[in-house]
């Protein structure tokens, strides 16, 4: 709970992807989303899904680690934890307890570009969830005592998810190297020293700056009537006054200076196997209608790695057996710049350097010979199927809408995106590979595994049965 | 072919809705049990097939055989190569997943329900479970990968803690075996072992076929026949010995991580356990209910000692583990363990309050629709209902039984079933004694 997932927006495999397909129009349960804007600037998006008598309500704030400053990294996420500490009307911990007693589930997550809170419950309880959520949008009570306890929890979370996970440490350090000025260089959870020196005032400042209806998007999906949801939103959120919050367009762009040569880093950590990550700077989607490169890059990732017979797995794991696992990934739905990743674990007896050579070999081959129609058609089929499969989950549908809205795109772009992906050509895939997978834009991170010392059973007061 | 056919009408929520979830059930000509829910809301078809082929069916010297067998099913079958298999599925956007635990091994196919996509994907699933080839060369490669994965896992505190705990908890009982096996046992497995295991355990008489989604009854019967008629024949299932209480012990193992991983456990629930509902509802209050639970309140909210702390029952054919798990900064691991034990001891001694019970019941009963609000969730229930031969009225029974649980029943069941003095405990990342 109150966690920091790094949600990707991939259109393939098990990742998140939803689009209202033309072919689904006949399925009456999936009406197009309805969009409303309250007088105070809160945007509401409602999507009907009448399969089950449940509803999900997610509120997304356009404030994530990207908006943080040095010295207080991790504050977006720390505030997310503090949002469960009560208001004038609701005691600490009471929020989750009330949702639970109503048969619901609630949680929250912080990303680079956003902070979001959600409740899932029976449709008859939507008003309860909205009432509680609206209350803490303006009336949060932050105390020093609560903060001191909660920041310890956040530090435990950091130890659990980052410090003791070699690959997370590696990812964190790699970001810090790949970006020299852009805030994506900093971890969502924050540097430990910043957490140690964070105060309740930092939390209050962050809350006052960003938590306002005009900086939020409310997404409701389920067995609901849009007009009724709109009235509920009016009732609960309508009276909260807006505050001056810079729009996404008005925030400082912080454009990353061009990289001018390969960067390399080695990370030592207790592990058995080595690990390799190669990251190339790549563009994100800015205009769903006119951009084409992000779609081609998405297809490139698919050709390399969307199923077990895709190029990387087939060649490096199955045929050459140089790797125990490999993957390629790219996420165009981000507010800041994007990155195209190639990653892998070398087989026993092989080195990360050998794996890097092989991965580069695959990229060179692709640039030289292009991709086949057969490969591209297969990836496109997977894209469509994934979209349909994701319609099975209201949670993912809400995630996708919220994510697009908080990076400056619209939920309406989803349809455009699916269509555009279907039109990507083999030549475009080759072209973006040639343009972006270049040494000057590359950061290479290697995990140097450190053996654990012979594990010892710590001799101590044993507690045999008595 | 059709032996019997049931409909279950389920009323989940008293207030506003009357949800209907009709399960149709029959057996195929070869004896496989079929569970089907028809739903045309989405153009999706999910099909699962489960067998009595979990890690609990392994022998110590062949530990890892069950999991490797499942792993190899889609890497060569019906004379199709692994590459042909993955391409054929990808061409129609179909997805395969597997689930594996101590009792069962299962394959789950998700495909678009259009006839072309469905037929192509089902053709592959049919080959995989009925005609796996277990190519020698592929087996060699995968064995190497699994062993590499195990070596890596053996450096991770969470894995070390879990393996140590399960061995302490189950001793020589098959539930103590590692789910992917041991490096030594994996190294001696031969192709014939997998072939034999498939023949003895992937048999039609213990197969459970679950079907959920956009096909009609007639189509579902054809699918179930197709997926089971060529399965090996044979007697179903080896019998498991009952699990017995462990010898209480606490192990402290050093590790360079900054946090200690703490696990404490006892033998818990069987799927058909008479104490099922009091223990499950009680556990929600103790440590299963997230922020509504006592462990979370005491360890995280009150003291800031951990990010995650919970207790769980994992009901299996025989008694699965009852387990409490948390991670905390090394220096405070003994303190955190002490408070955790206090919460448990206190709960066993006094049971929950009436207020806690009412809240728990409300969450479980009113929240029940959330457990079955997608095809994916429903088919997972279908597989469990089928595999453990639970009644078709399971959903209905569940809600009713939870509604009847009393404070006294929970207290009595916990006292009788969980011996807080008899638990096994592991701390990985313990502070070394100077």
Residue B433 falls within a domain, yes or no?
no
| A139 Cβ under 8 Å from any chain B Cβ | no
What three-state secondary structure class fits B325?
Answer: strand
Same domain membership, residue B92 and residue B30? yes
Contact B187, B147 (CB under 8 A): yes
Residue among B17, B247, B292 minimizing CB distance to A96:
B292
Asked if residue B97 is part of any domain, the answer here is yes
Assigned domain for B5 exists = no
Kindly indicate whether the ipTM for this predicted assembly is greater than 0.90, answering yes or no: yes
* A317 neighbourhood in chain B, CB within 8 Å: 145
Q: Is there a contact between B258 and A164 if contact means CB atoms under 8 Å apart? A: yes
Tell me the residue range of the domain where B191 lies: 25-228
Sign of the dihedral through C-alpha B285, B291, B292, B298: positive
Q: Is residue B317 part of a domain?
A: yes
Whether residue A103 and residue B374 make contact (CB cut-off 8 A), yes or no, is no
The upper half-sphere exposure of residue A380, i.e. CA atoms within 13 Å in the direction of its Cβ, equals 19
What's the confidence (pLDDT) of residue A269? 94
Q: Answer yes or no: do B260 and B388 share one domain.
A: yes
Show which of B198, B228, B258 is a domain's final residue.
B228
Whether residue B368 and residue A103 make contact (CB cut-off 8 A), yes or no, is yes
Q: What pLDDT is attached to residue B204?
A: 97
Chain A residues closer than 8 Å to B365 by CB: 103
Counting the structural domains of chain B, the total is 2
pLDDT tens across A288-317, in order?
A: 999 999 999 999 999 999 999 999 999 999
Cα Rg of chain B, angstroms: 23
Residues of A whose CB is below 8 A from B251: 457
Residues B217, B283: one domain? no
Nearest by CB to residue B42, choosing from A84, A345, A392, is A392
Do B73 and B112 have their domain in common? yes
Same domain, B187 and B265: no
Per-residue DSSP letter, B290: G
| B112 touches A at CB < 8 Å | yes
Instruction: Please give the average per-residue pLDDT across A417-438, as a whole number.
Output: 97
* Cβ contact A122:A54 at 8 Å: yes
Task: Sort strands A442-450 and B95-100 into parallel, antiparallel or unpaired.
Answer: unpaired
* Residues B190 and B270 placed together within one structural domain of the fold: no
- B418 CB neighbour count, 10 Å cutoff: 23
Residues B45 and B178 in one domain: yes
Q: Which residues of B touch A159 (CB under 8 A)?
A: 258-259, 327, 329
Domain assignment of residue B402, yes or no: yes
Query: What is the C-alpha to C-alpha distance for residues A80 and A154, in angstroms, rounded to an integer?
Result: 10
CATH of the domain at B338: 3.30.830.10
Give residue B29's pLDDT. 97
pLDDT of res. B237: 61
Cβ atoms of B134 and B191 closer than 8 Å: yes
**Residue contact A52–B247, C-beta within 8 A:** no
DSSP structure class, residue B96 = E
Mutation target for B interface from A122, A147, A447: give the one with most B CBs within 10 A.
A122
- Point out the domain boundary residue: B194, B228, B262: B228
Question: Average pLDDT for residues A419-432, to the nearest whole number?
Answer: 98
Angle subtended at Cα A33 by Cα B373 and Cα B20, rounded to the nearest 5 degrees: 25
Stretch A125-150: mean pLDDT, rounded?
98
Which pLDDT score, from 0 to 100, does residue A28 have? 37
Rounded mean pLDDT for each run of 10 residues along chain B, 434 residues in total:
34 37 94 97 97 96 98 98 98 97 98 98 98 98 97 96 98 96 97 98 97 98 98 82 97 96 98 97 97 96 96 98 97 97 98 97 96 96 96 93 98 98 95 60
CB-CB neighbors (< 8 A) of A163 in chain B: 257-259
* Nearest Cβ partner for B362 among A101, A386, A466: A101
Instruction: Search chain B and give the residue with CA nearest A82.
Output: B301
- Among B44, B151, B432, the residue with its CB nearest the CB of A458 is B432
Whether residue B278 sits in one domain with residue B195:
no
Q: Touching check for A29 and chain B: CB below 8 Å?
A: yes
Torsion B76-B78-B83-B89 (CA) sign: negative
CA distance A364 to chain B (A): 23
Tell me the chain B residues in contact with residue A325 when contact means C-beta distances shorter than 8 Å: 145
C-alpha distance from A405 to closest chain B C-alpha (Å):
25
* Cα gap A97→B417, rounded to integer Å: 28
Asked which of A382-386, A461-465, B287-291 is least confident by mean pLDDT, the reply is A461-465
Q: What is the 3-state secondary structure (H, E, C) of chain A?
A: CCECCCCCCCCCCCCCCCCCCHHHCCCCCCCCCEEEECCCCCEEEEEECCCCCEEEEEEEECCCHHHCCCCCCCHHHHHHHHCCCCECCCCCCHHHHHHHHCCCEEEEEECCCCEEEEEEEEHHHHHHHHHHHHHHHHCECCCHHHHHHHHHHHHHHHHHHHHCCHHHHHHHHHHHHHCCCCHHHCCCCCCHHHHHCCCHHHHHHHHHHHCCHHHEEEEEEECCCHHHHHHHHHHHHCCCCCCCCCCHHHCCCCCCCCCCCCEEEEEEEECCCCEEEEEEEECCCCCCCCCCHHHHHHHHHHHHCCCCCCHHHHHHHHHCCCEEEEEEEECCCCCCCEEEEEEEEECCCCCHHHHHHHHHHHHHHHHHHCCCHHHHHHHHHHHHHHHHHHCCCHHHHHHHHHHHHHCCCCCCHHHHHHHHHHCCCHHHHHHHHHHHCCHHHEEEEEEEEECCCCCCECCCCCCCCC
Stretch 19-38 of chain B: residues touching chain A, C-beta under 8 Å: 19
Q: Residue B342: its pLDDT value, please?
A: 98
Q: Does the beta-carbon distance from A14 to B152 stay under 8 Å?
A: no
Query: Are A110 and A80 spatial neighbours (Cβ–Cβ below 8 Å)?
Result: yes
- pLDDT tier for residue A371 given thresholds of 50, 70 and 90: very high
* The pLDDT of residue A65 is above 50: yes
Q: Look up residue B123 and give its DSSP letter.
A: H
In a domain, B416, yes or no: yes
Question: What chain B residue is nearest to A11 in terms of C-alpha separation?
Answer: B93
Please name the residue that has the structure tokens 């010995």. B241
- A114: number of CA atoms within 13 Å, CB side? 29
Torsion sign, CA atoms B382, B387, B388, B390:
positive
Distance from CA of B304 to the nearest CA of A (A): 5
pLDDT the model gives residue A14: 33
Cβ separation A459–B433 shorter than 8 A? yes
Name the minimum distance, in Å, from the CA of A246 to any CA of chain B: 33
pLDDT of residue B372: 94
Per the CB < 8 Å rule, is B362 touching A163? no
Same domain membership, residue B198 and residue B332: no
**Chain B contact for A121, CB < 8 A?**
yes
> Do B181 and B263 have their domain in common?
no
Across the interface, do A389 and B44 touch by the CB < 8 Å criterion? yes
How many Cβ pairs closer than 8 A exist between chain A and B? 248
Which residues have a Cβ under 8 Å from the Cβ of B34 and sit 6 or more positions away?
Answer: B24, B25, B26, B27, B28, B208, B209, B210, B211, B220, B221, B224, B386
Q: Give pLDDT, residue B10.
A: 34
The reply to whether B91 touches chain A by the CB within 8 Å rule is yes
pLDDT digits 0-9 by tens, A160-210: 999 999 999 999 999 999 999 999 999 999 999 999 999 999 999 999 999
CA distance B288 to A100: 12
Interface of A with B in 160-189 (CB under 8 A): 160, 163-164
**Run of H or E including B362:** helix B354-366
User: Which among B41, B367, B369 has the least Cβ separation from residue A27?
Assistant: B41
Q: How confident is the model at residue A453 (pLDDT cuts 50, 70, 90)?
A: confident
Q: Give, in order, the Cα–Cα distances in Å from A15 to each of A6, A10, A32, A330.
A: 12, 5, 22, 12
Expressed in angstroms, the distance from the first to the final Cα of chain B is 71
Tokens of residue A108, six digits: 């929250």
Domain presence at residue B434: no
CA A235 to chain centroid, in Å, comes to 31
Strand A338-346's sheet: what is its strand order? A263-270, A442-450, A275-282, A338-346, A323-330
Indicate if the pLDDT at residue A465 is higher than 90: no
Residues of B in contact with A449 (CB under 8 A): 155
**Closest residue to A29, CB basis, from B12, B41, B87:** B41
Asked about A80 being catalytic, the answer comes back as: yes
User: Chain B contact for A149, CB < 8 A?
Assistant: yes
Whether residue B258 sits in one domain with residue B188: no
Residue B46 maps to a domain: yes
Q: Which of A80, A172, A293, A298 is catalytic?
A: A80
Evaluate if residue A11 carries a pLDDT over 70: no
B15 to A93: CB separation less than 8 angstroms, yes or no: no
**b/e per residue B304-319 (b: at least 16 CB within 10 A):** bbbbbbbbbbebbbbb
Q: Decide: helix, strand or coil at residue B225.
A: helix
Q: What is the pLDDT of residue A121?
A: 97
Find the length of chain B. Answer: 434
Q: In chain A, which residue's Cα lies nearest the Cα of B251?
A: A457
Q: Which residues contact A457 (CB under 8 A, 6 or more apart)?
A: B251, B252, B253
CA angle, A320 then A322 then A325, to 5°: 110
Pair B184, B289 in one domain: no
Which one of B116, B147, B285, B301 would you mutate to disrupt binding with A, by most A Cβ within 10 Å of its Cβ? B301
Task: Classify residue A452 as left (phi > 0), alpha (psi -120 to 50) or beta.
Answer: beta
Asked whether the predicted pLDDT for residue A29 surpasses 70, the reply is no
Burial of A382 (0-12, 13-18, 19+ CB in 10 A): buried
> A308 vs B252: CB contact, 8 Å cut-off?
no
Q: Do A309 and B254 touch (CB under 8 A)?
A: no
């Amino acid at each position: 709970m109150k966690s920091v997932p790094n949600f990707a927006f991939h259109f393939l495999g098990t990742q998140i992807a939803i689009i209202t397909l033309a072919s689904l129009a006949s399925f009456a349960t999936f009406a197009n989303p309805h969009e409303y804007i309250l007088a105070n600037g809160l945007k509401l998006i409602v999507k009907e899904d009448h399969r089950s008598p449940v509803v999900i309500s997610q509120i997304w704030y356009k404030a994530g680690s990207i908006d943080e400053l040095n010295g207080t990294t991790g504050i977006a996420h720390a505030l997310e934890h503090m949002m469960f500490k009560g208001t004038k009307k609701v005691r600490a911990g009471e929020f989750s307890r009330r949702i639970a007693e109503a048969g619901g589930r609630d949680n929250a997550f912080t990303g680079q570009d956003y902070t979001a809170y959600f409740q899932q419950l029976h449709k008859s309880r939507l008003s309860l969830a909205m009432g509680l959520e609206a209350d803490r949008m303006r009336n949060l009570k932050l105390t020093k005592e609560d903060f001191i306890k909660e920041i310890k929890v956040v530090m435990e979370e950091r130890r659990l998810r980052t410090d003791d996970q070699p690959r997370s440490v590696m990812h964190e350090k790699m970001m810090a190297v790949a970006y020299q000025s852009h805030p994506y260089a900093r971890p969502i959870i924050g540097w430990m020293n910043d957490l140690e020196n964070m105060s309740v005032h930092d939390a209050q400042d962050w809350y006052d700056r960003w938590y306002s209806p005009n900086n939020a998007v409310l997404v409701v999906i389920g067995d609901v009537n849009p007009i009724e949801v709109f009235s509920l939103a009016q009732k609960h959120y309508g009276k909260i006054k807006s505050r001056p919050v810079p729009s996404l367009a008005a925030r400082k762009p912080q454009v990353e200076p061009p990289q001018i040569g390969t960067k390399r880093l080695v990370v030592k950590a207790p592990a058995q196997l080595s690990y390799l990550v190669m990251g190339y700077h790549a563009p994100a989607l800015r205009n769903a209608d006119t951009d084409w490169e992000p779609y081609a890059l998405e297809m490139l990732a698919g050709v390399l790695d969307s199923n077990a017979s895709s190029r990387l797995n087939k060649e490096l794991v199955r045929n050459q057996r140089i790797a125990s696992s490999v993957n390629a990934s790219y996420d165009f739905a981000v507010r800041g710049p994007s990155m195209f990743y190639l990653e892998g674990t070398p087989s026993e007896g092989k080195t990360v350097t050998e794996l890097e050579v092989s991965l580069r070999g695959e990229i060179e081959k692709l640039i030289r010979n292009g991709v086949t129609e057969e490969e591209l058609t297969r990836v496109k089929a997977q894209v469509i199927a994934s979209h349909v499969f994701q319609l099975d989950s209201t949670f993912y549908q809400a995630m996708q809408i919220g994510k697009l809205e908080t990076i400056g795109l619209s939920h309406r772009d989803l349809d455009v995106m699916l269509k555009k992906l279907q039109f990507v050509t083999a030549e475009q895939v080759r072209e973006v590979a040639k343009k972006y997978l270049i040494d000057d834009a590359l950061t290479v991170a290697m995990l140097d595994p450190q053996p654990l010392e012979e594990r010892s059973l710590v001799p101590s007061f044993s507690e045999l049965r008595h | 072919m059709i032996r019997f056919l049931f409909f279950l009408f389920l009323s989940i929520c008293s207030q506003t809705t009357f949800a209907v979830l009709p399960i149709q059930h029959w057996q195929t000509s070869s004896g496989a049990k079929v569970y089907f829910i028809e739903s045309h809301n989405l153009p999706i078809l999910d099909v699962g097939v489960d067998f009595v082929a979990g890690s609990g069916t392994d022998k110590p010297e062949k530990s890892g055989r069950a999991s490797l067998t499942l792993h190899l099913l889609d890497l060569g079958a019906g004379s199709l190569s692994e590459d042909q298999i993955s391409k054929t599925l990808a061409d129609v956007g179909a997805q395969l997943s597997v689930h594996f635990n101590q009792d069962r091994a299962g394959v789950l196919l998700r495909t678009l329900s259009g006839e072309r996509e469905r037929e192509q994907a089902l053709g592959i699933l049919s080959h995989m479970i009925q005609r796996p080839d277990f190519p020698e060369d592929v087996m060699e490669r995968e064995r190497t990968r699994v062993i590499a994965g195990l070596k890596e896992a053996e450096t991770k505190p969470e894995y070390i803690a879990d393996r140590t705990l399960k061995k302490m908890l189950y001793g020589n009982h098959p539930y103590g075996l590692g789910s992917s096996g041991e490096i030594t046992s994996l190294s001696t497995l031969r192709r014939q072992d997998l072939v034999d295991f498939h023949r003895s355990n992937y048999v039609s008489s213990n197969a459970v076929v679950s079907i959920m989604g956009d096909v009609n009854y007639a189509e579902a019967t054809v699918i179930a026949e197709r997926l089971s008629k060529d399965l090996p024949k044979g007697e179903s299932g080896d019998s498991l010995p009952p699990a017995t209480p462990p010898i209480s012990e606490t192990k402290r193992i050093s590790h360079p991580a900054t946090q200690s991983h703490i696990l404490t456990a006892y033998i818990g629930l069987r799927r058909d356990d008479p104490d099922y509902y009091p223990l499950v509802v009680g556990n929600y209050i103790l440590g299963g209910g997230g922020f509504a639970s006592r462990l979370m309140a005491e360890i995280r909210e009150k003291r800031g000692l951990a990010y995650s702390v919970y207790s769980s029952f994992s009901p299996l054919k025989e008694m699965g583990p009852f387990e409490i798990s948390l991670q905390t900064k090394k220096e405070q691991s003994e303190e955190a363990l002490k408070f955790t034990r206090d919460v448990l001891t206190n709960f066993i001694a006094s049971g929950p309050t009436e207020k806690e019970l009412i809240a728990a019941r409300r969450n479980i009963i009113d929240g029940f629709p959330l457990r079955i609000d997608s095809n994916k969730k429903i088919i997972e229930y279908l597989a469990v209902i089928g595999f453990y031969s639970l009644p078709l009225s399971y959903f209905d029974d569940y809600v009713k039984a939870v509604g009847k649980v009393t404070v006294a029943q929970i207290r009595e069941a916990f006292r009788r079933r969980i011996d807080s003095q008899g638990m096994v405990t592991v701390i990985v990342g313990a502070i070394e004694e100077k």
